[in-house]
Amino acid sequence: MALKLLFYWLFDVGIRQRVLPNCMFYYPNKPVRIYTPDKILGIIERSVPDWICQPKWNGKRVEIDYTGKVKLFSREGRYWEKEQWPWLTELPLDAPWFLDGELLPGKKIYIWDYAVMNGIPQYKEPYKIRLDYLTSRLTPITFINNGQTLSLVQTLPATAYEAFLGRKGDALLEGIVWKKLTATNLWGPYSTSELPSQIKYRFK
């Protein structure tokens, strides 16, 4: 198993390092899917303060690296060379950083997490620490430049999810994601995995 993981790292991350030498890629893990929002209550009712909910936007998962230059990637690590957002260097964040979010039609990005801040990998820290940092730096501002916008995703207490259910008619809103604030496994070193520390409900 160890040899297999070593080969994967050399072939995947190692190749990417040679192609993009100033970027170490980090893989965001996927939420477990549920098919009715009622099921979430049984999971979180014993630890409500540890859970929050956020809108699941209907766009493309985007990973943004700023290590000398801003680069956008898919969640699997494909470099989106045509997506140019150089002005993100002006965000009030401690660079170098590596952000996680969603790219929507109309050149809008919602951010909800990061793996690296100030050049220090922090993806193993509890999610609450990272979310609190982003909240302190990116709210209540929407950053706009040349028709492109970036905002921090809206976050509500876990039991307030009906606020998002009432917006089912929004074509860009795909569903709801619940996340455990104490989770330390929202990122993976080699690939994405489904983990119950985040749960997704899709409207359709």
Q: What is the pLDDT along the chain (204 residues), one digit of tens a residue?
A: 444 434 434 444 433 433 344 567 999 999 999 988 777 777 777 667 899 999 999 999 999 999 989 999 999 999 999 999 999 999 999 999 999 999 999 999 999 999 999 999 999 999 999 999 999 999 989 999 999 999 999 999 998 999 999 898 899 999 999 999 999 999 987 888 999 899 999 998
pTM: 0.87
CA distance 156 to 34: 19
Buried b (16+ CB within 10 A) or exposed e, 181-202: bebeebbeeeeeeebebbbbbe
Per CATH, the homologous superfamily of domain 24-202 is: DNA ligase/mRNA capping enzyme (3.30.470.30)
CA distance 150 to 137: 12
Buried b (16+ CB within 10 A) or exposed e, 141-161: eebeeeebebbbbebeebeeb
Determine whether 102 is exposed, middle or buried from the number of CB atoms within 10 Å of its CB (0-12, 13-18, 19+).
Answer: buried
CB 134 within 8 A of CB 111: yes
